[in-house]
Each structure stands twice: as C-alpha cells, then as structure tokens.
Structure 1
Amino acid sequence: MSCSFYPTMAGLLTSFAFSIISQPGLAQRLSAPDTTHHQKLSEVTVTGTAPHFAAPVEGTTLTAGRRNELIKPRDVNANLAQNNVRQVLARVPGLMVWENDGSGQQINIATRGLSPNRSWEFNTRQNGYDMSADAFGYPEAYYNPPMEAVERIQLLRGGAGLQFGPQFGGLLNYELKRGPQDKKVEVETSNTAGSNGLFNSYNAVGGTVGKVNYYAYYRHRQGDGWRPSNQFTVDDVHANIHVALTKRLTLGAEVSYLTDKLQQPGGLTDAQFAQDSRQSTRTRNWLSTPWLIPALTLDYQAGERTRLSVKTFGLVASRNSVGFVAGLPAPDTVSRRTRQFAARQVDRDDYRNLGAELRLTQEVRFLGRTHTLASGLRAYRATTSRRQRGTGTTGSDFDLTLTGNGRFTNEFDFTTTNAAAFAELLLRAGARLSVTPGLRYDYLRNTGSGYLGRAADGTENRLADQASRRNVLLYGLGTEFQLSPTTNLYANYSRAFRPVLFGDLVPPATSDVIDPNLQDARGYTAEVGYRGSFRTWLRFDVGYFFLNYEDRIGVIRRPVPGGTTGQTQQFRTNLGRTQTHGLEAYAELDLLHSLTSNVNLPHLDLFAALSLLDARYGNLPVTTLTGTGTSTQIVETNLKGNYVENAPRQTLRMGLTFAHKGLSVTGQFSHVAKVYADASNTETAPATAQTGVIPAYQVTDLSATWKLGRDNRYRLSGGVNNVFDARYFTRRSGGYPGPGILPADGRTWFAGLGLTL
C-alpha cells in the first residue's frame, strides 16, 4: 500500500496507542495473569454508542477468532426514521454506502472493497433467516426492516461463511425487538417529521402474558424526496409471538410484510450534476417491492450442554418497475410527432422461496476442558419468474399495465436448490488460547428456461434450458488468545465462494451486455486483530485483513463488436483475480471519565473508525478505445494494477458525543476517498455517465436525543444530515434506478417525538 496518507494515519494511530499505553500502570495490568475464563469479555459502560463484541459463543453461533460487531440502533444518535446507515453503522470500519435512495428503503452497504449493491455480498438475514430474493441466484435485499424495530445489528465478517453461507462479505443479521419480559403490555410510538415532506410513524405493542411473549409493529413512512420526482410511500407490518411450552422448549411464529411505492428520479450526466445536482431527468419511473416473510422457530435447551434451534422460513415477494429506461443523454420528452411521451418499459419479478435450518450447539468435555461444537443443516429452494421489457403506458403514474401485444419481450424461470451442512469446533487449548477449525459443504443446483425476444412473426426465441450443479467444500481455521481479562488477539482464515447469479446473466432493466461464459468466483479471507476494552472508558478493535478474490465478476467498457467506430458498451464478465490488503481500526474513548472517576460528570465520547485499503486487479488483457471521433482506435491494455471499483483507499468516520443525564448530542464527520465505477479505471466519464471517477467526499451530521420523564418514557430526537450541504454522489448506475450519476441528498433535517407506556 503506497499512499502518503497511510504513513500519516499510521503515525496518528501509533501516537494514539502510545498515549493510551502510557497511562500509569496500564502496561502492568495488561500483562498481568488472566484469572477469568477466556469466553467472557467484561462489560463496559461507554455511553451506549460503542459496538459490543460478541462472546465466543452466541446462542448457536460461534464468533471466536473473527471480527464481529453488535450494534444497537436505539443507542445511536441517528436518523432512524430514514434508516440512515451512514450514522447507524458509523462505527464499523470501512463501511461503503451507496447513498442514492432518499426513502431509506434500499440499503446498499459493503465492507472490504466489495460491491454495496443492495448489500448482496453479505448473507443478509432477519432474526437468523433469509430475507433476500434468492440467497444464491439473486441475493439483493429489496426488503430492509425499519431501524426503530431493530434491537441489534450483527455483523460477522471474514469467516462467517462456514456457518451462514459462502459469501465473501460475511453475515449481516437484523435482530428485531421482542416484547418486554416484565410487562403484560407496553406501547411505543415514535413520530418524525422532516425536510421535503418527510413523515414517519412507528407504532408498536409488546409484552409477556404468562408463557407468551409477543411484539408487533406498524410503520408508515412517506416523503417527496430531496430531488424532484422522488416521492415515496412505505408501509411495514411485523408480528412475532413466542410460547414457552416448557422451561426448555419455546415455539415461535413471525411474519413481516412490506409494501412500498418509490419514484425514481433517474441519473444525471456529469455536466448535469455540475449544473444542478438536484435536478431530475426522469419523472415517470417507479419501483415497488411487496415483500412477505413468514417464519416458524423452535428453540430447545436439551440440557445444560445442548442447545437446538430450528427455523423454517418462506418468501412471497415481487419486484415491479415501470419507466423510461433509455441510457443518457436521451431525454424523456414529449414527441413532436405524437404529442405524447414514449411508452415506458415494464419489468416484473416474482419470488417464491422456502427454507429450513437446523443448528445445534453441544458442549463437550475433553482432556479436562469444555469445548463447544456448533453444527447445522440447511435445505432451501427458491424460484424466480422474471418478465422483462414489456411495453407499458405513456403515462406518468405507477401503472404496470401492458399495451401493444400485451406480452413481455423476455421471460425466464429460474430455480435454486441448496442443501448444506457445517460444523465448527471451539477447542479451548488452555486458559487463554482457543482454536476453531470448521468445514462447510454446499450443494447447489440452478436451472433456467425461457426466451429472449421474439422473431418477426411473433414466435419466441427460446434459449436452451440450463442446469448446473455444484458441490462446494469450504474450510477455515480461527484462533483467539486472551492477553488480559478484557483484551484478546484473534486470527482467522476462511474460504469463500460466489456463484454466477442469474442476476448476472439476465439483470433487471440494465444496459449491460453479459458475457455468456461467466464463471463462479472463489477465494479466501485471512485476518488478524487485537481488540478489547480498558476499564469503563475505552473500547477498541484494530486488525489487518487480506482478501483474495478469483474470477471476480464486474463491468468493463469495451468496443461494440461489429459496431460503428467509437461505439462502446458495458460488458459484464469475469475480471480475473483481485487482491485487497486492508487495515481496519476502531476506538471509542470517554475523554472525561478517562481522567477522573467522578461518575457525576457528563460523558464526552470520541470515536473513530478507519479503513485503509489497497484493492487491485491482477493480470487481465482487455481491449479499449482511445481517441475521439474519426481518430478513435482499438488498443490492447491490461487491468493489472488497476484499482477495484467501489473500494475507497481511505474511509474515516469519526464523531464526538456529549451525554449527560437524558441528553445526548453527537456530531459526526465522514470522509470517503475517490473510487472508480469500473475495472478499467475510467477517468473521463462518457456521455452515458455510467463509468468514470466517483470523487472523494466529506459529510457532517449532527443529531441529538433527549429522554425525560419517569423511566425515560418521553423521547425527543432531531438533527441535521449533511450539515454543510455537500454535493456529492456515491454511485454511477448502469440501469435502475439510473442510469447515470445518482446524487446523494443535500442538507436535510428531522425532528421526532417518542412515547413508551
């Protein structure tokens, strides 16, 4: 990693670490003998904002030896009404966020230089079960729960694939709230208003009656959006009930339902963004994703040493869009000849999934120590019906009616069948040392059939039926060494796998051209780190990782085969090997309480989350165009040494929180370095604006919460996002919701009132 920023930041981190270690007696305390079992980390009382590190065994999940974060959104000063993950997950180093959806419904995040596209490099789950369209065929998370309903967010990176799936990104799990154990009925309401007509109302009821625990919520959110033609309406309903049949056996049932209608203002060219980043080029584009997730759960404590969990889950959902999707700079205007708009394009997906997972944790006595075996089985089947390029109406509202011949140009049916088994063993090799080897086996079968276009006589141009089978064996090894009662060293190596998605083969409403010979991507992640806490005022996690990604799937811009001179296209293909070296560092320090033990003083917490990446391509010859006009010519180049797209070399989020009694105020600063939108590292964007540089940007947020009344039953919240009205963008889109540059929101405000009874 050869960037002048690196030694500068390394010096700052070294100075910070030296200042901490220099505290009187600290070095002696850190080197003192361990007198506690290494499975437990002591609790800290940093003012509710720091992420917690999971215990080595969390329910039926092993986390020992790998980087993990547990974050409670309710304890973070943030715009929860709009799911502002830039704030909620600010303490996660290296978090890349595509900020192009002012509704807050589409969450696009990644870490470690992976693609943020609808969080698809993560294994995204809710309460431990799948919530994406198809975990292996089309893992895009169109559904995301409201942050007001989330008890905590679990991020398990690196070696998470052995227990939850083969994804490079690891696990992203939203754990929803349950009813309180000490009340029969508790009612919660939170209502927020804000810029551009924002209104959000979250209402919940929960409690425990006898052996029955229940919780249900309804959330409604609407607004006009920061840009024109950006209105949204979102409604969420969820209910969960858990019945303790015995002291050891609990049965549960859950259901989540989302319905939304999002207007998409479209992308901009670079010239349009420079002229007015708030303008909209498309007024007739809409997206709707009704999403229904039912689930049944069973938790059984067979004994003091055995715990069993079974989750059965389903999905009934759709992705529906209508709009004018021609690439830029084509305008969406009224035709002089017909005196009306062009007919829009209609695209529809239907998803029907069913799955079940059994997970077992067993404590085993061996050689005088207690070890923990975590194992599991998974069965899963997903079906997708994809219909594309139907001729819609010439209107402007959300209307999926087909006109013309009433048929779709493309129709496909896809199925994914997955069976998996995993086992990990937490071996406690001593009072301080643990080793966790693991294996995972996945069987995948994908099938596809359908047609692509129609002949002149109207007959279907059917594609040959496709079927593929894969038997994938993954393995990994983690280790953890307790240096002190509250600090440990950890290291992990884990294999990962990303199959070719049918979303790669037939993407929804995109201008990309697909390589018919796409191959699966494979690789591994290795990491090492040092984490822990000191007293009640410091929490930290500093680590290094290496990610090796073989046959990475991405986009390059190339000449159109057989096209006219200067004509290019976006080509989705395997881009060879990428390797990412990264430093991830997080620390949170209570400044005042580190200097005095006076608990009556306010808290003044300083946090910083830093990521330094060097993500580059290996050897891959490609053809490109140089020159302009009649002087354009094809030249051979090589991607070797190019930066991986969407992998910022520096990401820094830092903030300061003042907290006293019921008042808490947080100021947060975010810096994300320049990235490229394509593997060719295009500097000068073409007229379509789909490739090119995404410049570095800085954003400042200010939020506050005031809890008052008996048991803090009243809650006032508010803030300003993007305080200095920075104009920036984080994404160049090749299709929906673009194409082109998708601007992030400028300055907005929010204010809310909550009540719990």
Structure 2
Amino acid sequence: MKFVYGFLICTLFFSAEVFAQKNILKGKISDEKGNPVQGASVLLEGTVRGVQSDLNGNYELKDFPKGTYQLIVSLVGFQNWSQEFSIEEGETKELDILLKEDEYLLSEFNISASRGILGQDRLPEVSDFRINAGKKNEVIRIAEIDANLAMNNSRQVFGRTPGISIWENDGSGIQLGVASRGLSPNRSWEFNVRMNGYDITPDPMGYPEAYFTPPLEVVEQIEIIRGASSLQYGPQFGGLMNFVMRKPDKSTRFTAESINTVGSNGLFSSFNYIGGTEGKWNYTAYYQKRRGDGWRENGFFNTDHAHLEVNYAASNRLKLGYEMTYMTTETQQPGGLTDAQFEQDSQQSSRSRNWFNTPWFIPALSAEYLVSQNTKLSWKVFGTFAERNSVGFMRPINQEDDLGNRQVDRDYYTTYGSEIRLSSSYELFGQEQTLMTGLRYFNGNIDRNQRGVGTTGSDMDFSVADGDFSRKLDYTNRNWAAFAENVFRFNEKLLFTAGLRVENILSENQGQFNVVNGTPQFLEPVSRSRSFVLFGLGAEYHVGKSAEFYTNFSQAYRPVLISDLTPPATTDVIDPNLQDSKGYNFDFGFRGSVFPSLKFDVGYFRLNYQDRIGTIAQAREDGSIYQFRTNLGNSISQGFEGYVEFDPITAIFESSRFGYLHLFASLAFIDATYGDFEITTVSDGELAVRNLEGNQVENAPRKINRFGATYSLGKFSMTWQLSDIGEAFSDASNTVTPNAASTVGLIPAYQVQDLSASWNIWKQHSIKAGINNLTDERYFTRRAGGYPGPGIMPADGRTFYLTFGLKF
C-alpha cells in the first residue's frame, strides 16, 4: 500500500504542475535529407533541463524561466548543434533544427548498431560525478543483446565481459552470483553492488551479499569497474557493479510497455512499465511478476518487483529525485546432491521442506545542483529495509530428512547512508582538468536470529515453536569516508589520474550465541574501530581517435565481515587485533577499435589480496585446543583478459543486403594462488601445521572463455554463445576426491551453449525466443557447505523461453 500511496501523491503533484506551465520551446529535428531524427538530446546549457526528440523528430521543453539560453543538441553520428535564443514569460517559441552528419562517427555508429556491436562498451573518461579514465571498465547495454532477460540469465548477460565467473545454482534469477579475477562469486560479495549509484546489499562493510537483483528487463545497462574503483567507492577487491535502471522517457508525456514470457517448467513472467516527461516532471514505474517450478524437483519461485522514480526540476540549476524499489520472494530450495546422486539424476532432490524468502525495500532521495558552468554537486540519501528468511532441514545431504522440526533463521537489515559528490573542472596546461571529491556516511544494523526450532510442516512457515531463537546477535557498522581524485590532461593524447580515499570504520558485535541446557551463552561484546588511507594512480595514452593504452594501480581492502566476528563455538577465539584485508589491483591494457568492424580490449591484471582471514587450531597451557580466527596470509591473482568483436562481412564488403555476421570472443586466463598462508589443524588430538603456498584459490577456474556469433538482418537478430569454463577447487586445500557430504572436491570443467533470437515487428511489437543449455549438459559450478545446499548445486539443464513485447 505504501507504494500505491506514494504513486498517487506523486501523480497529484504531477497533475498540479501541468496547469502551472509558463512557456514552451518546441520544434522538429531533421537530418540533411529531411528525415526526422529520433533520440537526439536537447539541453539548455548550464541547466538541468533537457529532453529527447521523439519518433517523428519532435521535441518540447516546458516551464522554464524567461531569459536567454544556449540550446545544445547532440546525437552520436551527427555534429553537435548549438544556438542562442531568448524567451519571454508565457511565450511559445518554435525552433526547427537541422543536424549535419559526422562522417567518421556516423559510419562507426551505423556499422556498430546494425549488428548489436554496442552491446558491450566502456565508460567515458568522466561521467555522472565519477572519474573512469585509466580504469578497466565495461558497460553491458542490456537492450542490445539477445538473452533470456526474464530469468536474468547471467551467463548470457556477462558473455562479452572477460573473466567473469558465475555460480549457476539459482535458476530463478533472483540472486546474482558473479566475480572476477579469482574471487568468490558468492552472491557477488566481492563486488560493491549498487543500483543507480547507491547501495542495495544488506551492508557493504559487514555483510555485502547481493540478495536483490533488479529485473534485467528494466535495467538499461550494467557498469563494471574493476578493482581500481576502490578510491571512489570503497570495498570490495572485485570493484564496482552498478545496475543503471531505465530512465524516464524524455521524448513523450506517456509511454507504456508490457513484456510477457512463458517457458519451460511452468515459467511465467509479466513485466509492465510506464514512463514519460511533462514540463519539470518526469517519472517511471514498473511491476514484474515472475513464477515457475524450477528445473529440479522441489524447486519453485514466486517473485514480485515494483519500482517508482519521480524527478522534478525545481529550478534551472536544481533537480530533485525520489526512488523506491520493493521486492518479495517465495523460493523453494531443492538442496544439494551427493556426487553419486548427481551422476544418477541431477534433477532429483532429497529436500522438499526448504524455503527461502527475502522481502526487500530500498528508498532513495537524490539532488543535483549546478553550482556554476564548471562545478556541480550530487547528493544521494538511501536506505535498505529488508529480511533474509530461511526454513529447512539443514543437515549434511547424505543424511535423510527425518521429517522432524526444521531450522529457522531470520535476519533483519536496517541500513541508511548518504553520499555527496562534487565535480569541478578547471584549466591547466591549456587543457581541461577534472577534480572529483566526495563524502560518505553509512550506518548498518543486522539483527540476526538463528537456530530457531521450526514446524514439522513442508510449506514456507517461519514460525518458531517456542517463539525464540537460540542465537540472537546484533551487528552494527558505521563508516565515514572521503575521497579525492583528479584527471590531469597534458595534451589530447596523454592524461594521468591520482587520488586517495580516507576511511574510518566502527564495527560492533554482541548478543546471545547459544543456549546450552537451558542456559543462554553470550558473546564477549566486540567493538573495533580503524582508520586508513588508500592511494591510486592511473594513466591513458590515446593512439589516434579510437584506441588507447591504459594502466592503473589502486590500493583496495575488504572490511572484517560479520562472519569473521562470529565464532562457530563459544570456546573459539577471535583475534582482538583482527585487521581488514588489504592489497592492491594493477591493470595494463590496450582497448579501442582499429576499424569500424573491429573492437577490442586486452590486458594484464594483478590482484594482491593480503591479510586474508582464516582459522587455525591452537593449544592452551592446559593442553586444550581451541580455534583461533586471525589474519593468516595472502593470495595473488594474475593473468590475461581479452575481448574482441569482429564483423567479417563489413570488413570485406562494407555493407550487405543479406545481413551481417558478428563474431565475439571473451577470454581470460587466471592464475589465482595462495602465497605464504600457514594453517594449523587437529589430527588425532595433535596440532598439524601446513602451508597453503602454491595452492589454487578455491572457486577460481584458470580458464573462463566465451565465444559467440550474432547474425542480424534488419530488425531480426540471432545469437549463439559457447561458454568454456575450466575446472576449479571448492576448498583451499585443493581436495580432488569429494567427501561423503560432497561439500568439498573438484568442480569439473564444462561447456554450455545458448541460442537466442529477437525480432522487432513494426515499432510497437517484439518477439524473443531462445534455448538455454542447448545440448542439455549436466554440470555444476558450486559445492555448498551450507544453505542453499549442502552438497553439489546442479546448474539447469535445457530450457526454452518465448517472449512477446508490446509498446504504446
């Protein structure tokens, strides 16, 4: 109901503003042949006001103060256009615009757009209150790739992004598990996961697991900045992953879209969207319903997503915005398998009473203010009010469910934060320089209730028999941070970046750990404060207009997590001097395009992960043995990442009325190994010491290769993709032979193919269809030690989908 009330209130404000319009600037944008130009950006220079031209090339700006303005019109493939004009109070002015083609950019754009080559791109040097120059980054343009978006199929979505490893154990598409450079894909926790620039995880400082993933049908693009993002965003080692939601349509007052998908295993998804611009207001809202039975036995999911965004140009210099996102899920978890069960039938399940639920509410306020022509300010305030609930039989997978009381675990997340950024440009060395600064405050609280005695039923019921939990912990993180980074341009070819980040983190953990014989056992309260500084340097050297060398060195860190501060037993000990893991990321690469038909990005990386946290066994003076959690050692990931796209038909014939064939390859070789990492275990009551040095880091395949081909003809396109992934170990000891519970052991190499096609019928209709896992391979990417396992978590076999879309 809160969502409905908020929408109605915004609608009333919107309606009131319609009757308060003061003046209008309108016209038509055409090219040199007289054809209307769609999607051109129309901006009043030095203000926050702007629109886009519609399908017929028309544009309309309303309700801005009288005065003299510079009108700027731009679109890829055309020369920028500008003209000064004056307007009086209540005046309606018509100004038609003729855009001239930019021969170089237009040919590059047309060749690219004809085959969907824009599906993978990179960020500009400076954009949206951030510096991207010198950093390894990718932009995945969702609308321009053939993929099963209804199910958030990450294997297809990240197909062109080199080095992305994926856990494919969640066929519902609710949770995303991705990583890069030898890091763990566990709910993407080595990435700083954001949406529209603000946090969406429970707590990036203490519990950074991504339980929420927005529906990709409403995501405009996914921005990935590797570890060099640590200066501007903080943790984690993997860098930033930002979901940019589709913005309100600036070319019309109202537009609507409905996308409906059916598929294998009872899949049904309905995505419905509205948006538009009227005067000072623009808005967008969506609702998605998705449900299905899952590929495995005892699999079921039912999800609801809703989102509202409203923006208001309070003045020519100030823009205000409000967003709110809500998700609720109902997921039945089939559990894991033993190796023998997987070989027998990977679709089977021995867990019929395991359920998972994550209600998620994310509100956010934003403001952008143009201080001057060269200085602008951004402020975001955001929060997360969410839960993580599970119920089920959680013992090893080789133990039969006794149909007794299930275990209930419930987390409650209450977080809020604020981030302010200032972007300023100035002139030095005859070039424009850019300085970016920012301040951030974050407060996160996790109320963790675990090991509750649940019902003996089989449905999603989180009630607890005695109304209480044996483990009740309270975890709080407070974080202050400030950063500054500058782009120094020496000429049109060479630039350097330099920056630093100052962090202060306060972590507190307390509460009841367990109940033994009716007596509560409490943890010794922990309060840990630390401050540190991160530094970074980068550079770019441009070779012509379309290629560049880039390099970056940036320090990174991973804060002590809630799991690090929670011992498995009250007799265990946490090191009072436990430190955040620190290290650095280094990149050196070459990217760009040699010809309009060839794009590439190849490079070397090195990730140094120091002070990794682990547990060792130690002996007391009386001979008793206890587990001690501390910083044990380091690991190093290094290797090659390469991405190339090529269109042989364009390269040979320049144009073809029979369509285009677009080939791509995304390649990564990763050597992720432990350095000096000494561990101590107990064997026959005695301490045994060994060193992990030289062992391969767990969940880090050495080979991550993906190949694809897209054929396009007019408004039809079809994409085939092959994923070729190497073997990996599931534990740091590099165990090959699986244990009885299948929680450790080798994860074999695998190959899987996908085929998807799309056809835009007229301008209002579209049809998409595809087959995921074309050859019905049986494979797995994860051995889970606990929930949602334990045991082998099989990936989905062959599935089909069919999508019909309508715009009006």
> Aligned residue for 1:347?
409
Give the gaps of 5 or more residues in structure 1: 1-35, 334-340, 562-567
Out of 238, 247, 257, the residue aligned to residue 307 of structure 2 is 238
Find the partner of 2:797 among 746, 751, 755.
746
Give the aligned residue type for 2:124.
Answer: A
Instruction: Compute the displacement of 1:640 (Å).
Output: 1.0
**What is the aligned partner in structure 2 of residue 696 from structure 1?**
749
State the alpha-carbon separation in 1 of the partners of residues 796 and 492 from structure 2. Answer: 51
Instruction: Name the counterpart of 1:31.
Output: none
Q: Deviations over 1:257-305 (max 9, x none)?
A: 0000111111111111111111112110011000000000111222221
Distance 1:51 1:560, change over 3 A: farther
Does the 8 Å CA contact 1:55/1:64 hold for their aligned counterparts?
A: yes
1:316-715 superposed matches below 5 A: 316-333=385-402, 341-403=403-465, 405-456=466-517, 458-506=518-566, 516-517=574-575, 519-553=579-613, 574-598=631-655, 600-623=657-680, 636-709=689-762, 711=763, 713-715=764-766
TM-score (norm 1): 0.88
Return the alpha-carbon distance in structure 2 between the equivalents of residues 511 and 541 of structure 1: 48
Once the two structures are superposed, the pairs formed by residues 60-75 of structure 1 within 5 Å of their partners are 60-75=129-144
Instruction: Indicate the residue corresponding to 2:88 in structure 1.
Output: none
Counterpart residue identity of residue 87, structure 1? Q
Partner SS state of residue 176, structure 2: coil
Q: Secondary structure of the equivalent of 1:753?
A: strand
Bigger CA drift: 432-441 or 48-57?
48-57
Q: 1:342 to 1:220 in 2, by over 3 A?
A: same
**Contact persistence 2:397–2:789 (CA under 8 A):** no
Q: Which aligned pairs between 1:46-195 and structure 2 lie closer than 5 A?
A: 46=113, 47-49=115-117, 50-195=119-264
Partner secondary structure for residue 86 of structure 1? helix
1-structure distance, mates of 2:649, 2:791: 47
SS at match of 2:217: helix
Checking the alignment, whether the CA contact within 8 Å between 1:163 and 1:422 is kept in structure 2 is yes
**Post-superposition CA distance 1:398-430 (Å, at most 9, x none):** 001111x32201001111101110000000022
Contact 2:633-2:678 at 8 Å conserved across structures: no
Instruction: Note closer, same or farther for the CA distance 1:728–1:112 as it changes in structure 2 (3 Å cut).
Output: same
CA-CA distance at 1:348 after TM superposition: 0.5
Unmatched runs of 5 consecutive residues or more in structure 2:
1-101
Which residue does the alignment assign to 1:291? 360
Rounded to whole Å, the distance in 2 between the matches of 1:383 and 1:633 is: 40
Q: 1:173: how far off? A: 0.2
Flag the 1:269–1:699 CA change in 2: closer, same or farther, 3 A.
Answer: same
Residue 99 of structure 1 contacts residue 729 of structure 1 at CA under 8 Å; is this kept in 2?
yes
Say which SS state the counterpart of residue 472 (structure 1) adopts. Answer: strand
Q: SS state of the match for residue 619, structure 1?
A: strand
Q: Given residue 228 of structure 1, which amino acid in structure 2 is its aligned partner?
A: E
Q: Does 1:718 align with 2:769?
A: yes
Output one character per residue of 1:602-628: Cα deviation in whole Å (capped at 9) or x when no partner.
1211000000011111123335689xx
Q: Which residue identity is paired with 1:432? A: K
Contact map agreement 2:547 2:593 (CA 8 A) in 1: yes
Distance 1:84 1:572, change over 3 A: farther
Is the CA contact (8 Å cut-off) linking 1:42 and 1:486 kept in structure 2? Answer: no
Residue identity matched to 1:376: G
Paired letter, 2:639: G
One-letter identity of the residue aligned with 2:770: G
Q: For 2:232, what is the secondary structure of its paired residue?
A: helix
CA distance in 2, matches of 1:703, 1:569: 54
2:376 aligns with: 307
Indicate the percent of aligned positions where both proteins have the same amino acid: 47
> Closer, same or farther in 2 for the Cα pair 1:293/1:560, shift >3 Å?
farther
- Compare 190-199 and 575-584 and name the one that shifted more: 575-584
The 1:513/1:304 distance shift into structure 2, 3 A limit, reads farther
d(CA) in 2 for partners of 1:168 and 1:541?
21
Residue 750 of structure 1 and its aligned partner are, at CA, apart by: 0.5
Residues 523 and 570 of structure 2 are in contact (CA less than 8 Å); yes or no, is this contact kept in structure 1? no
Equivalent residue pairs, number = 694
Q: Is the 8 A contact 1:51 1:91 kept in 2?
A: yes
Write out per-residue CA displacement over residues 455-487 of structure 1, whole angstroms, 9 at most, x where no aligned residue. 42x332111111000102101000000011100
Residues of 2 paired with 1:667 and 1:603: CA distance?
Answer: 14
Secondary structure of the 1:163 match is helix
Query: Which amino acid in 2 is paired with 1:52?
Result: D
Secondary structure of 1:160 counterpart: helix
TM normalised by structure 2 equals 0.83
Any idea what SS the aligned residue of 2:770 has?
strand
Quick one: which amino acid aligns to residue 405 of structure 2?
Answer: A
Kindly indicate whether structure 1 or structure 2 has the higher relative contact order, using CA contacts under 8 Å at least 6 residues apart: 1
Separation (CA, whole Å) in 1 of partners of 2:487 and 2:653? 40
Take 2:766 and 2:547, find their aligned partners in 1: how far apart are those partners?
A: 35
Distance 1:503 1:299, change over 3 A: same
